[in-house]
Structure 1
């Protein structure tokens, strides 16, 4: 059985974005339960030269939903604007990503598989990919990195989480 590009990318992003929503909820609940300021978690980083929680949500949005609009034009330029600044705005961004992915059809994704996609940063075209390689070797690893880092920051700050919280709802067989 072969797997489509859509099946290799979109459902897994949807699953992890669902988990990310749960992580956002648990982070907010932790702050309230422990009488902390939101900034205690929202501004946390794993290392000084890394991003804070909201940036990781933005990156998950960028490497999932935003990607498809960019790919249609043949170039991907990261969007570092509109970084969420609250639990609610982080949830809104993951909600937007989920809505965008929900609206994609397998045919739309498959149509991008062989398209040449240029990665543009600072006005310079730094790399070129096929659409398939762009999704699977650039966006997917970046998406998972940022989702994992969000989880790791919460764990580092004492939020009680398990691997299941990260995974969201797996696509299991139903009777």
Structure 2
């Protein structure tokens, strides 16, 4: 059986978003348990030139539900106007991504798979893709990068998490 664009993208994003939601809960619990100011984790970054924790949550939304919303327009420009500043705001961002993905029908992605999509940044159309190539070679790697970086920041700050926490709930045989 051929793998559809929907099958190649949406279920895996949903799985990892579930993992990120769990990571948020564990990070907040860790901060409370150790008497840490939330800002110590929320403002943490892997390197000075990298984004802090909440940006990676926003990027997971951008490269999952938001990108699918924009594909029919033929242009994608990342939206970083609403960076979540608290654990609850991060949870809300992940919930919005999960809700957005839950509303996607496989036919929606197949309809834009061969459509041209331009990557727009700073008002300039910088790259051209098909919808399928944009999702699988640009958004999907970005999605995993930001989810992994979120995990890595928490590990670096001593939150007791492991690979299972990152992975979320796998899709088992029914």
Q: Same fold (TM over 0.5)?
A: yes
Deviation at 1:87, TM superposition (A): 0.2
State TM-score, norm by structure 1. Answer: 0.99
**What's the secondary structure of 1:127's corresponding residue?**
strand
Instruction: State the partner residue of 1:144.
Output: 144
Instruction: State the partner residue of 2:132.
Output: 132
Instruction: State the partner residue of 2:80.
Output: 80
Distance in 2 of aligned mates of 1:169 and 1:104? 20
**What's the secondary structure of 1:81's corresponding residue?**
coil
Structure 1: state its 5+ residue gaps. none
**What's the secondary structure of 1:126's corresponding residue?**
strand
Which contiguous aligned blocks of 4+ residues in structure 1 show a shift greater than 4 angstroms? none
Q: Following superposition of structure 1 onto structure 2, how do residues 52-131 of structure 1 map, counting pairs within 5 Å?
A: 52-131=52-131
1:50-82 CA distance string (max 9 Å, x none):
001100000000000000121110000111100
**What's the secondary structure of 1:164's corresponding residue?**
helix
1:26-60 CA distance string (max 9 Å, x none):
00000000000000000000000000110000000
Distance in 1 of aligned mates of 2:155 and 2:59? 19
**What's the secondary structure of 1:128's corresponding residue?**
strand
**What's the secondary structure of 1:55's corresponding residue?**
helix
**What's the secondary structure of 1:111's corresponding residue?**
helix
Structure 2: state its 5+ residue gaps. none
**What's the secondary structure of 1:3's corresponding residue?**
coil
State TM-score, norm by structure 2. Answer: 0.99
Distance in 2 of aligned mates of 1:162 and 1:47? 21
Deviation at 1:137, TM superposition (A): 0.1
Distance in 2 of aligned mates of 1:82 and 1:24? 18
